[in-house]
Structure formats: C-alpha cells, structure tokens
Amino acid sequence: MKELIKFEFQKIIGQKSIYIIGLLMFSLFLFVFVPPSENREANYAPYEGEITAETAEELKDLRGTEAANHVYQSFLNERGIAELVQEKIQELAVAADNDPAAAMEREMLQQLTLDTFYYHDAPGQTIDFVNTFGLVIAGALILLGLFNIFSNEYATGVDHYIFTSKRGRKQIVHAKLFASFLYTFLVVCAWVLFDVIYHYIRLGGSGWQSPLQFIWKYRDSPYDFTMAEYFGTQVGIHLIGALGFAALVLFISALSSKSIVSFLVSGIIFGLPIVWTSILRQDSNWLTDISFTNIMKVEELFLNFSVYDVGGLFILKPIFLVVLCLIFSFVLIYATYYYIRRREV
C-alpha cells in the first residue's frame, strides 16, 4: 500500500504545470503586487506595550517628523477602534435583554482587550496574504494537481487494468485519496512558509500579540484573538477548506471521462464566489458562504458577528460553516469511493 501511495503521489508532483504556474504566481506577487512599505519597528519600540497615561502623553507629543506622525496616527486609529467597540457594547446593552444574539455579541465584545500598542504591519500583511494570494495559489495548485487524477485514467484506458477487481479498486482509490490530501497539505505548508518568512524579512517580527481588531478590516470582529492566535486559526480553517476543495476536485474527476471537463467544472466552482464577491462586489449569500472557496478565504467568517439559529440554538458562523465544510468533505470522499467501486470498465 505504501508503494502505491508513493507512486500516486509521484504522479501528482511530477506534473510540470504545477511548478510553472506556482513559480509564475509567486513571481507576480514578488514583482508586481507587493504593497510598498517599510519596517518601522524602531520607531514604535519605545512606546510598545500596555497603554498607560504616561505613554499616551508621550505619544501625543510625537508630532513633527514623518516617522513620528506615522506612530501617532496609528495610536489615534487604534484608540478610535477601542472607542467604537465601547460604543457598540453600550448600543447592545438595551437589545441584549430581549435578543439572545445581541447578548452573545455584547458578552464577546466585553472580553476584548484593546489597551495595548504595537507595530503590527508584519502580522497584518501576513494575515491578509491568506485571503488573497494564499487563496489563489492554493486553489490553482490544487486544481492543477488533482483535476485529472481519475479522468486521465479513463482517457488513456488505464482504468481497464487498474480497476479490474474490487480489491484493486479499493486500494487504488485509497492511495489516490491519501496522495491527493498529502499534496494539498504540502501546498498549504509551502505558501504559509513563504508568507511568514517573506513578511518577517520585510517588516520584522513584532506585533503578533496585538488584538485582531487593530487590523482595520477586522475592527467589527467580536472574536478575542491576538494576531498570532488568529493566524493559527486562519491557517487551520484554510487547510480544512483546501482539503474539502481537493475532495470536490477528486469527485468531479471521478465523474468526468475527459480531463478538460473536470478542470473547467472544478475551476468554475472555485472561481464563482471570488467573482461574485470580489470582482462584481455583490453581497455574499448562503451559496457563497458554504463554498469551499469561502472557507479557504477565511476572513468572511470573522469580520463581524454572525450566528445561525438552529432550533433556538445560536451557533457562531465560523463554527457552523466549518462543521458544514467537514460534513461536505466526508460526503464527497465517500461518494468518490462509492462511485469508483461500482464504475463499469
């Protein structure tokens, strides 16, 4: 069985297209899409830590040079976010008496600790990479690596030899699934490693203890995460979504007699949520919410407070959607296995 898994894995990683496209995408990021920025750790260092009255007074006097203005403006922005959170807590106080969801959100907001000040450009950009280039790179490489894993066997007629017995089918399906998920895991590890090292080199390593809310797009998030905690959670959920998308690609490949059909259908399913929300700028809906693309993007799950009412039980959006993703993934794996076991050759 190990030799069979090794053989299937080598077939996947032996495809030249994944290296060409991977290199092209990383090159585009490095030379075209990198946002201009500079490491300002030294400017922030004297003022980092828990905010005290003394620190606040020192920061108020920090005006004049461009570097000083940048530090002071960051301080004002974060104090503004902290004030907005307090205002939201007050607004929810009345509604919380009659609305369990409002009470739940208010309690979560009250747990936030927003009295620190750190330079956090590095974690901010590292986190943002996940829902932009990390999403696209993972989706593209999973698609390119796996779209023909079954359909290519049909096209070349090899299926007549490898699916000749129930035992043979079982072992081959297991090997293909295991090799595919191993490949998916390594794809995610590769871009995460690139993401962390690249932004560490450019922007330093400080600020990971900052609260998530100090990244502007997450200012309405009620989740009590530091940026380090959120990044770990973000990568974990992205991996779950990536494995789910891999299961979908394998299922479509198993159903498709032609590789081009598998490629197009899988690509369209992956790309539609991105086109709908990021290009057409349309509001997300339940179809985009439950897509593997949305789970891999992750950020939509944590930008604000959202719950699903399941029989009077309020379940947080991230928990609900990740559980659905896992269920869909297992169903797709079983459906693939079931179909191949009973396919006529």
Q: Report residue 314: phi and psi, to 5°.
A: -90, 120
Per-position b or e across 213-244, b if 16+ CB within 10 A of its CB:
bbbeebbebbbbbbbbebbebbbebbbbbbbb
Burial class (CB in 10 A: 0-12, 13-18, 19+), 164: exposed
CA 161 vs CA 149, 154, 168, 254: distances in Å: 15, 11, 9, 16
**Res 43: pLDDT:** 85
For residues 206 and 209, give the distance between their C-alpha atoms in angstroms, rounded to a whole number: 8
Q: Which residue bears the tokens 């990198």? A: 34
Report whether pLDDT(166) > 80.
no
> Which tens digits make up the pLDDT trace of 203-248?
989 999 999 999 999 999 999 999 999 999 999 999 999 999 999 9
> Which tens digits make up the pLDDT trace of 92-133?
988 888 889 999 999 999 999 999 999 999 999 999 999 989
Amino acid letter for position 72: Y
Report whether pLDDT(334) > 60.
yes
Amino acid letter for position 245: F
**Res 252: pLDDT:** 95
What's the first-to-final CA gap in the chain, in angstroms?
23
Nearest Cα neighbor of 11 from 138, 146, 142 is: 146
Report whether pLDDT(156) > 80.
no
Token readout for 56 is 């606040």
> Which tens digits make up the pLDDT trace of 262-283?
999 999 999 999 888 877 777 7
> Which tens digits make up the pLDDT trace of 190-200?
999 999 999 99
Q: Which residues contact 312 (CB under 8 A, 6 or more apart)?
A: none
Domain ranges (residues) in the chain: 2-38+119-342, 41-118
What pTM, to 2 d.p., does this model score?
0.91
